[in-house]
Amino acid sequence: MALAVGLAAAGAYHRAGATGTDLLRDLSVGWAYAAAGLVAWWRRPANRTGLLLLAEGLTWFLGNFQGSGVPLLFALGAWGEALNLAVLAHLLLAFPEGRLGTRLERRVVACGYGLVAVGGLLRTLLYDPSAGVDASYLACRDCGPNALLLHSDPRLFEAVDLAYRWLGALITLVVLAALVRRWRVSSPARRRILLPAGVAVAIAVAFVGWEVLYVLAPGSLATADALLTLPSDLSQVAVPVAFLAGLLRTRLHRAALGNVVVEVGPDPAPERLQEVLSRVLGDPALRLGLARGGGRDGYADVHGRPLRLPPPGSGLATTPVADGDRRSAVLVHDAALGEDPQLIAAVAASVRLCLRNSTLRSQVTVRAEETRAAQARLLEAADAERRRLERDLHDGAQTRLVFALMSLRRLGRGLDDRADPALRDTVSEADRALRLAIDDLRDLARGIHPAVLTREGLGAAVTALAEEAALPVVVMAEPGRCPPLVESTAYFVVCEALSNAVKHAGAGAVSVSLRSTGGRLAVEVADDGAGGADPGGGTGLRGLADRVAATGGSLEVVSPPGGGTRIRAELPCG
């Protein structure tokens, strides 16, 4: 339709004496509006800005029909010559929402359309192109005749035409004032959306003086008309281009949203998520609210304070974020962002994904803490059972064996020289067997849980262990006690390290360090052996690492080939 109207109008314009450059310029402007309108209508069918752009493109060609030679078309062209300016004012005041937001804007647009409808008709009823009055940009005295001509009076027509142009210039100034006021009261996010149209309007403002100058001194534009027509038309091309730039900017916002999840990190704090969204969307006023009670108890901001939702007409809008059947969050943002539903949907999806990720990580962390706590309780129970078993062995079987040995020795002392030599040998053999059994039982009890560890602490137990080692061991231990589970875990770390140093590393000496710093016990065992120990290659170090981790600690093994082995464990000692 726009193509057909444009070509028909171009034919009439050419009949009125337009050059090829004039035709190309005129078609470029009108079709640019029409094309931008179709694209905008396709991208945002619920937004009437696309229809306004299309209407601007169609009405742009209306004035050209004054050169058609058909009386009725001439009359319609003369009547609607300025209709595109009224549509342009409507477009600029409605951009980007596609609707007029204030009573002043609605009244100004109504005045613009009313001026064209009433003033344009009155002007057309008095317009006689054959009278030699240059009332149209076509300046075609051979055009017409005017089918609506009611009375031919050049002086009366000039007076009406002058008033018509004065009123048009006044409405133009009011429109510009409304646009400036809207820019001043807009938020930074809204200004970014309005920026393309603002640039186009700023260019167009430079040519408002053209109309004003024509009203004040029509004859002064005789030579300037040709110079000002081209830049004036080009300035109007900037408006549809600016709108398309706004659409492209929105698409860039959507592309940037794809990096939100990556940018906030694997554990997105609400403060970080709000900061990234505010920067990506260019809305410093954006606020993220987290639902309390599924949204039934309101929302809290990222700092935990109650978040009050904005009232209607405040320039802010709310977008709830739902996860399944329950609300998980709400976004408070500039209302201008809501003009792109796809953008807002992408924002909500990003927020939902980040919050779901945070929830899952929290659940995993809680499960890990519960698992670690369960492991710690099992270790504590096992350690308590070790101590109980060590006490039972010491107070029960070992004590009975000692009593039996004492009884056997009294029996041996009671035998005289005339006793049977075989009996004496049997008593001596039983004595040796009981002593070996007691030693084995003590070793077993020490392996289960050394009694010195319970009585005197970790330092004494490690010192006793070092004295019995098969190689020199230097022990540096700070005084102090830790919980029984921590002390037993540290003791078995030293036991495993010493065992590996003797059996596998071929070490000549070992150093053991026990230090408490910042509520943590640091156990470090270093040897000068062959190195090359693999923590994952055997069950000893791997099991030791699991045991240390279950207490909330960490185990580090450094064992370069030929460089010795250093085992360091850090355990909570609170």
Q: Which amino acid, one-letter code, is at 303?
A: H
* pLDDT category of residue 1 using cuts at 50, 70 and 90: confident
User: Does a structural domain hold residue 418?
Assistant: no
User: Does a structural domain hold residue 402?
Assistant: no
pLDDT on residue 118: 92
Which residues lie closer than 8 Å to 50 by C-beta, 6 or more apart?
A: 36, 37, 38, 39, 40, 41, 42, 43, 44, 98
Question: What's the DSSP call for residue 147?
Answer: T
Q: Do 178 and 303 fall within a single domain?
A: no
Q: Do 278 and 175 fall within a single domain?
A: no
206-244 burial by CB neighbour count: b if 16+ within 10 A, else e?
ebeebbbebbeeeeeeeeeeeeebeebbebbbbbbebbb
Q: Do 488 and 360 fall within a single domain?
A: no
Mean pLDDT of 463-472: 84
The CATH number covering residue 483 comes to 3.30.565.10
Q: Do 347 and 484 fall within a single domain?
A: no
Q: Is the pLDDT of residue 445 over 60?
A: no
* Coil, strand or helix at 18: coil
DSSP structure string for 279-335: HHHT-TT-EEEEESTTTTT-EE-TTSSEEPPPPTTSSEEEEEEEETTEEEEEEEEEG
Q: Do 207 and 308 fall within a single domain?
A: no
User: Does a structural domain hold residue 385?
Assistant: no
Which residues lie closer than 8 Å to 499 by C-beta, 6 or more apart?
A: 540
Q: Do 306 and 216 fall within a single domain?
A: no
Q: Do 232 and 346 fall within a single domain?
A: no
Q: Is the pLDDT of residue 113 over 90?
A: yes
Q: Is the pLDDT of residue 220 over 80?
A: no
Q: How many CB atoms lie within 10 A of CB 455?
A: 9
User: Does a structural domain hold residue 439?
Assistant: no
User: Does a structural domain hold residue 262?
Assistant: no
User: Does a structural domain hold residue 259?
Assistant: no
> 480 near 519, Cβ under 8 Å?
no
Q: Is the pLDDT of residue 213 over 60?
A: no
* Coil, strand or helix at 528: coil
* pLDDT category of residue 115 using cuts at 50, 70 and 90: very high
Partners of 516 in beta bridges: 521
Backbone angles phi, psi at 324, to 5 degrees: 80, -125
User: Does a structural domain hold residue 428?
Assistant: no
The mean predicted confidence, pLDDT, of the chain is 75
Q: Which of 325, 343, 373 is where one domain is finished?
A: 373
Structure token digits, residue 341: 């539903």
* Coil, strand or helix at 571: strand
Q: Which domain holds residue 342?
A: 268-373
Q: Which of 324, 340, 373 is where one domain is finished?
A: 373
- The mean-pLDDT minimum among 382-386, 414-418, 547-551, 570-574 falls in 382-386
Q: Which of 373, 396, 422 is where one domain is finished?
A: 373
d(CA 161, CA 115): 12
**pLDDT tens, residue by residue, 230-244:** 566 666 677 777 766
Q: Do 241 and 321 fall within a single domain?
A: no
Q: Do 238 and 277 fall within a single domain?
A: no
Q: Do 321 and 186 fall within a single domain?
A: no
Q: Do 491 and 559 fall within a single domain?
A: yes
Q: Do 35 and 152 fall within a single domain?
A: yes
pLDDT on residue 516: 87
* pLDDT category of residue 206 using cuts at 50, 70 and 90: low
User: Does a structural domain hold residue 167?
Assistant: yes
| Number of structural domains in the chain | 3
The CATH number covering residue 115 comes to 1.20.1070
d(CA 424, CA 428): 6
Which residues lie closer than 8 Å to 339 by C-beta, 6 or more apart?
A: 44, 47, 96, 97, 98, 193
